[in-house]
Structure 1
Amino acid sequence: MNNNWFGGDGFNTSGFLNSLGNLVLALLVLLIGFIIAKAISAGVEKLLKKTGVIRKYGTPKRRSSTAEGDKDSPKKWTPEKVAGTIVFWIVMVFVFILFFNILNLNIIASPLVDMMSTILAFIPNILTAALILLLAYVLALVLKTVVVKVGHKLVQNRKVRDSKYVKDSSNLGSYVDSAGTIVFYLVLLMFLPGILGALGIDAVSEPFSGMLASFLSFIPRLVAAALIFIIGWIVAKIVRDIVSNFLHALGADKLGARLGFDKALKDTSISSIIGTVVFVLIMIPVTISALERLQVAGITDPAINMLDDVMAMIPNIIIAILLIFVGLFVGKWARRFVADLLARLSFNNVTSQLRVGGWKASGNGMTPSDIVGYLVQIIVVILFVVEAFQVVGLSFLVDLGTAVLAFLPSVITAIVILGLGIILANVVKRILASLFEGSELEVLSSVAKYAIMALALFMALDQLGVADTIVNSAFILILGAVALAFGLAFGLGGRDNASRYLDKIERKAENTEMNKENARMEREKMKQENRNEGSKHTASTPPQEAVHDDVDQRPVDNDWSGDDLSRDTSAWDSVNDADDFPENDQRGHNNPYAPDDFDNDRRGE
């Protein structure tokens, strides 16, 4: 209760009337202030709607609604209405301050006064930030417009659209618009620290200012690095084309085709490869220089160190490549030389000795000399490749290639042993087949052949070092088992049969030798008779007739062929097994008229 309304003696009429007047005045101020606030709010809202500033730059685009209800229903809150409402309540705060001051309610008016004082004191900062933002916006808009217009003019230029560096000219317009947008926001970003500083938001503006300063200081280095890289790339490309065309004019591609490189290089040529190598050699130092201009130690230092190592290795790499090319050339020459030499030495006939299925090279087939030539080429190339790895410093591959080369002599020796074993086995089989005639004795020649081949196989495996203990043990066990089985078969179970079989073999061998001796003596006798007849005929013929007349044109067979010998001697061996005669006369010849005691004994057995 206001004490001004009561005096010492009672109710104070003048104080009441005074307070009543203040109340009426305060209500009148509140009403007028409300009307003014409404008018200002409506004016601001209408101005914003008319200019469309907030709608154009302050709100994002929304998806249009297709529903009729959405089109007809008015929006409750719009950006203009929100701005008008804010202005309305700001004016009303001033009205409330006047209202409470008129009513002498300082306890309520003081906080409002302090708040408005702070707001009014901050208004210059807001205006400064707004001016900076407006300036940034205008400048960004101008730069964006310039970039877009200049870019579209360049895009419309026919030289630019038809340039070989432009792959798809239809998207150039969108690229230009994107570049303009980037420039617009980049300018706004540059003014953002000033705006934040004007508002007094130092906690945000200072770190952002430092980041922006670092970014702005990095832009010149980035531009310099980009220019160095682009210029170096253009120069390297020009040099590559010059080198490629020069080598092509000199006939480097034809030389590569003569050396056989055209098969390995199907879609390219030697001149283009050398040009690409030159391009890379130029781009490596250019890239190093561009990275150094960036001055970003965390990224550039490892990349520069790697490129320095590559540059240091380039001479060794070139030497290694030259060694490989020389190895290919020398290997090809060695293949031809070895193949021709072996062919002249009749090495291709080795297949007939090895009995490799009647192998004959026809068309594009390979002969044994060609195979050996290719093996020599592979060995020569491996030697040069290992040396190339040694130059480059690839120790693991050097050790691997050295191990392969160290194992090659064992492989070659094993192949030679196996081949000689097969040849020797075939020779022994033919010798035994010629010594022992008859189908019953072919088993012995086959056993001898495969025994020699097995021995050669075990020797080859031992030379290769393939499980030495197992191979040696297996060979000893097999040999012992065969010997034991042979001993048991002939010593215990088939002693009598073995005796008869061995006697039969012995008689066969003796008959064969005697047949050959008789055939030789008969051949000598016929030669002597032919000589005697020739001398008699010469003595009885006059000299003139001997000169003019021809000698008897009938050919005299002074020598028998192997087929005649086999036919003549086969009649001597036509006796069956029952007519084998163990007894001989005193001259050592078979006696076909010996007694039948031996036959009777055999029938009894």
Structure 2
Amino acid sequence: MNDYFNGNLHGRGFDAMYYWEQFQPILAAVAILLVGWIVALLVAGGVKKVLQKMGTDQKLAHATGHRSNIEVIVSRVIFWVILIIAVIGALNVLNLTSVSGPFSNMIQQFLLFIPSLLAAVAVGFIGWILANLVRVGMQKLLARTQLDEKLSSDVGVSGLSQNISEIVYWLILLLFLPIVLSILGLNGLLFPVQNMVNEVVLYLPNIFIAGVIVFVGYILAKIVRGIVEGLLASLNVQQHAEKVGIFKNSNLPKLLGSFVFALVIITALIIGFEALGIEAISQPATAMLYEIMNAIPHIIAAGLILILAYVVSRFVANIVVEVVAGTGVDEIPAKLDLQRFLGTTKISCV
């Protein structure tokens, strides 16, 4: 009897140990998942709060002009990384290495990639700060020159300072882009971007030369316009034109000065396009300017002929009016009681 009970108890103990050995990995895996899930929630929530206190979304939205949700994205990435690590631990406890292997390799690659990612983010952040500082500096510098006001009043171009600052901003970011791609090891994107940056850098001297040519042309155009307007004003061209009955409602010196200003600016732009090597624009524009220059003498001659013809016709008309009025024909309507139909109009003027 005692042997029976002792054997029965011994069998029951053996069965309990057996079931414990079977369920212990499952319980451990569940515990790992639960703890990992809690840790993932806590860490992700903490990171999100830190980013919110730093105002990350607001700063990025202000810098890029677009709404940013980087706080939620970063916190979710951290949550899923920690949770995947917990899943890998649970699968390893269950000896499911064939399932956990791919996840483990993925996490390992991700962890190895983190230093490169942080370095790329740091370099990109430095480039972004530098680009913003240069953009703000360019805006303040160009604002002091009152370039926008001058171009707006002279040639109708507005917002040039803002456009130049934006071009410099994106150019600096473009220079930092190959460094970021190189750190990340994205060679498939690195080589095309690097070639593009090299082309842009090699093209910068041409852009600078073209900018100097256009700027000098603008200054020269203003000087020539001032000379033309001053010369015509000193010759009293406006008064003489009004005496013969032309250009009564317009300022002739200013009109001719603006015409000369436009010619000089167009010439400077054509030379600038040639410096840039944009033949598709410079060649037709040069041909157009050549035609305009050839036509100017003919236009001046035609204008002088028209003015002379107008003056002569006015002179002849005045003589004819005086001759006809001397015959007494203007008194005939009054004698015939027809003047009321003509009003103040005289027959000699007709």
Q: TM-score, normalised by structure 1?
A: 0.43
Q: Where does 1:400-479 land on structure 2 (aligned, <5 Å)?
A: none
CA drift of 1:135 comes to 1.8
Partner of 1:244: 229
Q: 2:49 aligned with 1:52, yes or no? A: no
* Shift, 1:202, TM fit: 5.6
Query: Unaligned 5+ residue runs, structure 1?
Result: 1-10, 64-77, 372-605
The answer to whether structure 1 residue 88 and structure 2 residue 88 are counterparts is no
- In the other structure, the counterpart of 2:129 is 138
From 305, 312, 322, the equivalent of 2:304 is 322
Residue 4 of structure 2 is matched in structure 1 by: none
CA contact (8 A) 1:236 1:279 kept: yes
Q: Counterpart of 1:265 in 2: which secondary structure?
A: coil
Q: Which of 183, 194, 218 pairs up with 1:233?
A: 218
Matches within 5 A, 1:227-306: 227-257=212-242, 260-261=243-244, 263-268=245-250, 270-306=252-288
TM-superposition CA deviations, 1:238-283 (whole Å, max 9, x none): 32332333333344445445xx42x221133554455445444434
Counterpart amino acid of 1:365?
A: K
Secondary structure class of the residue paired with 2:293: helix
Query: How big is the alpha-carbon RMSD for the aligned residues of Structure 1 and Structure 2?
Result: 4.9
Change (3 A) 1:127 1:342: same
Aligned to 1:129: 120
Q: Structure 1 CA distance, aligned partners of 2:163 and 2:111?
A: 41
Q: Provide the rounded CA distance (Å) in 1 between the counterparts of 2:343 and 2:70.
A: 93
- Using CA pairs under 8 Å that are at least 6 residues apart, name the structure with larger relative contact order, 1 or 2: 2
Equivalent residue number for residue 67 of structure 1: none
Give CA-to-partner distance per residue, 1:520-558, whole Å, 9 cap, x none: xxxxxxxxxxxxxxxxxxxxxxxxxxxxxxxxxxxxxxx
The alpha-carbon distance between structure 1 residues 199 and 286, as it changes in their structure 2 partners (threshold 3 A), is same
- Mapped contact 1:252–1:271 kept (Cα < 8 A): yes
- Relative distance call for 1:86 and 1:58 in structure 2 (3 A) is farther
Structure 2: gaps spanning 5 or more residues: 1-13
Judging by fraction of residues, say which structure has more helix.
Answer: 2
**89, 105, 116: which is aligned to 1:98?**
89
State yes or no: 1:120 paired with 2:111: yes
The verdict on how the C-alpha distance between 1:324 and 1:27 changes in structure 2, with shifts beyond 3 A counting, is: closer
Give the drift of 1:81. 5.6
2:293 is the counterpart of 1:308? no
Is the Cα–Cα contact under 8 Å of residues 55 and 79 in structure 1 kept in the other structure?
A: no
Structure 2 counterparts to residues 384-395 of structure 1, below 5 A:
none
The one-letter code matched in structure 2 to 1:47 is V
8 A contact 1:229–1:287 mirrored in 2:
yes
C-alpha contact (below 8 Å) 2:229/2:256 kept by paired residues: yes
Tell me the amino acid that sits aligned with residue 283 of structure 2. Answer: D
- Which residue of the partner structure matches residue 346 of structure 2? 365
Q: Which residue identity is paired with 2:277? A: Q
How far off its partner does 1:89 sit? 2.6
Number of the residue aligned with 1:110: 101
Q: Given residue 48 of structure 1, which amino acid in structure 2 is its aligned partner?
A: L
Q: Distance in 1 between matches of 2:138 and 2:152?
A: 19
Q: Which one-letter code corresponds to 2:220 in the other structure?
A: V
Instruction: Give how far 1:125 is off.
Output: 4.0
Amino acid corresponding to residue 137 of structure 1 in structure 2: W
Q: Distance in 1 between matches of 2:258 and 2:134?
A: 41
Structure 1 residue 312 displacement after superposition: 1.7
1:41 maps to amino acid: A
Amino acid at match of 1:307: L
Q: 1:48/1:315 Cα in 2 relative to 1: closer, same or farther (>3 Å)?
A: same
Call closer, same or farther: CA 1:308–1:266 in 2, change over 3 Å.
Answer: same
Per-residue deviation at 1:122? 3.5
> Percent identity between the aligned chains?
27
Letter in 2 for 1:132: V
Q: Which has the larger Rg?
A: 1
Once the 2 structures are TM-superposed, how far is the Cα of residue 112 of structure 1 from its aligned partner? 1.5
Contact kept? 1:37, 1:88, Cα under 8 Å = yes
Quote how far apart the aligned CAs of 1:306 are: 1.5
Distance 1:28 1:334 in 2: 115
Q: Is the Cα contact below 8 Å between 1:37 and 1:89 reproduced in 2?
A: yes
The answer as to whether partners of 1:291 and 1:304 remain within 8 angstroms in 2 is: no
Task: Spell out, residue by residue over 1:451-475, the C-alpha distance to the aligned partner (whole angstroms, 9 max, x if none).
Answer: xxxxxxxxxxxxxxxxxxxxxxxxx
Count of residues in correspondence between the two structures: 326
* Cα distance between partner residues in 2 of 1:16 and 1:237: 98
Change (3 A) 1:296 1:362: same
Distance 1:105 1:314, change over 3 A: same
In structure 2, the CA distance between the partners of 1:273 and 1:115, relative to structure 1 (3 Å rule), is: closer
- Kindly provide the amino acid, as one letter, of the partner of residue 89 in structure 1: W
The answer (yes or no) to whether the contact 1:34–1:92 under 8 Å persists in 2 is yes
Looking at structure 1, the residues matched to 133 and 66 of structure 2 have their Cα atoms a distance apart, in angstroms, of 27
User: Quick one: distance in 2 between partners of 1:85 and 1:270?
Assistant: 71
The whole-number CA distance in structure 1 between the counterparts of 2:169 and 2:113 is 29
Q: 15-24 vs 47-56, which deviates more? A: 15-24
Give yes or no for contact 2:56–2:71 (8 Å, CA) kept in 1: no
Instruction: After TM superposition, give the deviation of residue 115 of structure 1 in Å.
Output: 2.2
